[in-house]
Amino acid sequence: MKCKSCRGPAVVEVRRHNAAFCRNCFVAYVRGQVEKAIRRFEMLRPGQRVLVAVSGGKDSLALWDLLLELGYDAAGLYLGLGIGGYSDRSGELVRSFARERDAELLEVDLRERYGFDVPTAGREGSRSTCAVCGLSKRYVFNRAAIEHGFEVVATGHNLDDEAATLLGNTLRWNTEYIARQHPALPAREGQGGRAMARRIKPLHRLTEHETAAYAFLRGIDYVVEECPLVAGNTQLRYKDAIAVIERTSPGSKAQFFLGFLERAAPLFRAAADPSLVECASCGQPTTGRFCAFCRARAQILGVRLGDGPAERPGESAEGLASELPTEVLPVELYGPEPERAGARK
C-alpha cells in the first residue's frame, strides 16, 4: 500500500477515506483534522491557554500532544479517581508525559480533596459507578478551570465516543440531550462572574483507531488497559454495535455523527438554557439549590448537605439528604451523557 499523500510506503490505513498514509503524512492528516475541528467550531484562538483533561489514555495524551504541537499554551489536568493500580499507572504516565514536554500539570485527587473515590462511590451510593465517575470528572474539570483562570477545557472524546453517545440519545429520543451534544459548548456566566468554562472536543473528527495510531507513531506511552470498572458499560455496547455497521459500510460512523453536527443538530437546538445559580454548598454553578456533585457526595459520605466538610457549612439543608434526587448526570455540567447513567446498576 502506498501513502495517499507522498506515494511512499504506507503504515496506517484509514478505510473510511479509502486511504493509507506513511508516518509523517498520517501525523499531518491527524493535525489537519484537529485544526479543522478547531476552526469549524471556533474552539480556540491562536496560542490560547487551555486546560486539557488527561486520563493517561491514548486520546487525551494524543490531544495534549497535538495542542502543544499546534502552538497552544496547553496545561494538563489529571484527576486521581482512586481505581487501584489502574489509576496509579495512569497518573504515572501523565506525569512522565508532562515531564518530558516540560508542560504544566495540575492534579486533583478525588479522595484527598472530596473525601471519596470512585470504587467507594460505587459501593456506598445508589448511583452507578460510571455515573458518579462521569459526574465527578465534569465537576472537577470545570472547577479546576475556573479556579486556575482557564477559559477553556478540552477533553479527548473521539468520533467513536461521540457516535456512541449520539446513538444512545437517539435510541431513547432524548431530545434535550441531543440538543446539547456539541463539540464546543460555550462558557457561561453565573451570579458572581464566569461559572462554566468553554468546553471543547477537538478530536471529534478522529476515530479511536486513528488516535491510537497517532499516539503509537508519536511514541506516546499511554495506559492500554481499560478501566476495570467499566466492563458491560452501555456505552461500550453501543460502540460494538456501531463497529458492526462500520465493518460492512465504512464511513457510516462519521456520516452518523459529523452528518448530525452539520444537518441535524440545528433542528434540536434547545430553548434558552436554564439560568445558573451558585450551589449553596460549594459555590459551583447549578440550576437547583445544591449541585448534583454535592448531592451525590453527601449521599456517598452519608452526611447531610450543609454539615461536615462542605465548604460553606452553616447553611443548613435540613431534610435535603432524604430527598436526594435520582438524577445522576445534571444538565448544568459539561453536557449530559445519559447512556452512562444506565450503566452498571
Q: Cα–Cα distance between 56 and 29 in angstroms, integer?
A: 23
Per-residue x/- marks for ligand AMP, 59-98, CB under 6 A?
xx----------------xxx-x-----------------
The one among 44, 51, 54, 300 contacting ligand AMP by CB under 6 A: 54
Q: Cα–Cα distance between 124 and 121 in angstroms, integer?
A: 5
What count of Cα atoms within 13 Å lies in the side-chain half-sphere of residue 59? Answer: 21
Nearer to Zn ion (CB atom), residue 72 or residue 290 = 290
Q: Could you write out the DSSP letters of every residue in 165-181?
A: HHHHHHHTT-HHHHHH-
- Tell me if 30 contacts ligand AMP by CB under 6 A: no
3-state helix, strand, coil in the chain (%, to 5): 45, 15, 40
CB of 310 to Zn ion, least distance (A): 8
Read off the C-alpha cell for 212: 491510537
Which amino acid does the sequence have at 137? K
Q: Is residue 215 a contact partner of residue 222, using CB atoms and an 8 Å limit?
A: yes
CB of 52 to ligand AMP, least distance (A): 7
The one among 155, 169, 234, 299 contacting ligand AMP by CB under 6 A: 155
Kindly report the backbone phi and psi dihedral angles of residue 168, in degrees, each rounded to the nearest multiple of 5, phi listed first: -60, -45
Which amino acid does the sequence have at 11? V
Q: Is residue 137 a contact partner of residue 292, using CB atoms and an 8 Å limit?
A: no
Kindly report the backbone phi and psi dihedral angles of residue 44, in degrees, each rounded to the nearest multiple of 5, phi listed first: -145, 150
Residue 169 contacts which entry, ligand AMP, Zn ion, none (Cβ below 5-8 A, type-dependent): none
Q: Cα–Cα distance between 102 and 105 in angstroms, integer?
A: 9
Residue 309: burial class (beta carbons within 10 Å; 0-12, 13-18, 19+): exposed
Q: How many chain residues interact with Zn ion (CB under 5 A)?
A: 6
The one among 157, 198, 253, 344 contacting ligand AMP by CB under 6 A: 157
Residue 210 contacts which entry, Zn ion, ligand AMP, none (Cβ below 5-8 A, type-dependent): none
Q: Segment near Zn ion (CB under 5 A), from 9-17, 58-66, 81-89, 273-281?
A: 273-281
The one among 25, 43, 51, 53 contacting ligand AMP by CB under 6 A: 53
Residue 291 contacts which entry, ligand AMP, Zn ion, none (Cβ below 5-8 A, type-dependent): Zn ion
The one among 195, 294, 298, 331 contacting Zn ion by CB under 5 A: 294
Kindly report the backbone phi and psi dihedral angles of residue 169, in degrees, each rounded to the nearest multiple of 5, phi listed first: -65, -35
- Tell me if 223 contacts ligand AMP by CB under 6 A: no
CB of 294 to Zn ion, least distance (A): 3
Nearer to Zn ion (CB atom), residue 179 or residue 296 = 296
Residue 207 contacts which entry, ligand AMP, Zn ion, none (Cβ below 5-8 A, type-dependent): none
The one among 281, 300, 310, 331 contacting Zn ion by CB under 5 A: 281
The one among 195, 291, 329, 343 contacting Zn ion by CB under 5 A: 291
